[in-house]
Amino acid sequence: MTLDKLSVGESGVISAVGGEGPLRCRLLDMGLIPRTRVTLQKVAPMGDPIEIRVRGYELTLRIEDAKKIEVAPEVKG
């Protein structure tokens, strides 16, 4: 599934970062790299943008960019 499909409070682990050129490089530079845990913190009232917690800080992303980031649900246990 993609990052935009997480529910508020739900966590996942990034499995792939899509996009092309400068956008993909920007996402990677912000710490969105494979095997990194992310948690959806907030969703704006109109649904865009979303706020995630990654590597100890909050990051706001547009839904269009979040759709390019594949995540696997976090396994409890």
What is the residue type of 3? L
Query: What's the pLDDT at 15?
Result: 95
Edge-to-edge strand ranges of the sheet holding 11-17: 57-61, 50-54, 37-43, 11-17, 69-73
Indicate which CATH number applies to the domain containing 69: 2.30.30.90
Domain count, the chain: 1
Per-residue pLDDT of the chain (77 residues; tens, 9 = 90+): 999 999 999 999 999 999 888 999 999 999 999 999 999 999 999 989 999 999 999 999 999 999 999 999 877 65
Residue 49: domain span: 3-73
- pTM higher than 0.85: yes
Other C-beta atoms closer than 10 Å to the C-beta of 60 total 11
Query: What's the pLDDT at 77?
Result: 56
